[in-house]
Amino acid sequence: MRFAQTVTNALELILPRCCLVCQRPLLHSSICLRCLPMTHLVVVNLDDRPNLPFRSACSVWPYHGVVRNFIMTMKYRPSLTLARLAAEQLADALLEHPQFKCDLVVPVPTSPKNFRKRLFNQSGILAQGIAKKFDLPCDTLALRHLGCAAPQASLAHKARFQNVKRSFESRHNSVAEKSVLLVDDVITTGATVASASLALLKGGASCVNVVALATSDSWTSYLAALQEYSYQRSLN
C-alpha cells in the first residue's frame, strides 16, 4: 500500500491533476478552493402569490462570478464530477431549511439533444443527491421534456416564457397527490421551473416547491410576469 501511494504521489508531481474549472495544478482534489463557491441557503416564500405554480424557491449560490464559471464548466465541458460535487453542496445546505419536506423529488428534465451532448442531466444528479441525503424517493422520469424552439440560455429573458410553453408533461400515476420538490440547476427568470411546475400540477401533484443550485440576482423581478404566464397557461 505504501509503495502504491508513493508511486501515485510521484506521478502527481510529474503529471499533476488540474482544477476542473480553472485548470490550476492540484494534488489531491478535483477543484481548487478559489473555484468552489461558498454555500448560503436563500429561501423565497411565495404564498402571497397564489397564481404561481410553485409555493417557494430556494437556492445556495448567486449566479455570477465563481458560480457561473463552475456551472458553465459543469454543463458545457461537461463534468459529471462537478455535478456530483454540486449535489453534495446543495443537499448539505438543505439541512439548514427548517421547513424542508416533500413526498417526491423530481428533476427538471433536459432535452434529448442536451442529454446526447452531456450523457447526463445535471438536474437529475442534483435531485438524486438530495433524495439520498433525506432518504426520499426520486423519480427522474416523472417529467418528460417535449423540446423547445431554442435553448433557453440563447434567448433574451422575455422570450424564455414563450419558448418553454408546453415544454413538459408529467406522468400522472407518478406525481398524483404528491408534494413535489422540483430541482433545477439555475433559475434565471423562473420560466422553466414555472412550466415544469404547471405540468406537475396538471399531473395531479398536490403542491410544488422548487430548489435550485443557483439563481440570478434579478429572477424575483420576473415574478409578476411569471404569475401572468402561469395564469394564462392554466386557462388553456
pLDDT of res. 118: 84
Kindly state whether residues 9 and 45 are assigned to the same domain.
no
CATH code for the domain of 180: 3.40.50.2020
Kindly state whether residues 144 and 44 are assigned to the same domain.
yes
pLDDT of res. 89: 95
Kindly state whether residues 229 and 186 are assigned to the same domain.
yes
Kindly state whether residues 27 and 45 are assigned to the same domain.
no
Kindly state whether residues 30 and 142 are assigned to the same domain.
no
Kindly state whether residues 27 and 43 are assigned to the same domain.
no
Beta-carbon contacts of residue 191 (< 8 Å; ≥ 6 apart): 152, 160, 161, 163, 164, 222, 226, 229
Kindly state whether residues 56 and 1 are assigned to the same domain.
no
Which cell is 70 given? 463552475
Per the structure, the complete domain to which residue 31 belongs is given by: 1-35
- Whole-structure pTM value: 0.85
Kindly state whether residues 168 and 77 are assigned to the same domain.
yes
pLDDT of res. 128: 97
Q: pLDDT tens digits, the chain, 236 residues: what are they?
A: 456 545 544 444 455 578 999 998 887 788 999 999 999 999 999 988 888 999 999 999 999 999 999 999 999 888 999 999 999 999 999 988 867 789 999 999 988 887 888 888 999 999 999 999 999 999 999 999 887 555 545 455 555 566 566 678 898 788 999 999 999 999 998 989 999 999 999 999 999 999 999 999 999 988 888 887 775 555 45
H or E element that contains 60: strand 56-62
Kindly state whether residues 26 and 44 are assigned to the same domain.
no
Kindly state whether residues 18 and 70 are assigned to the same domain.
no
**Number of domain units in the chain:** 2
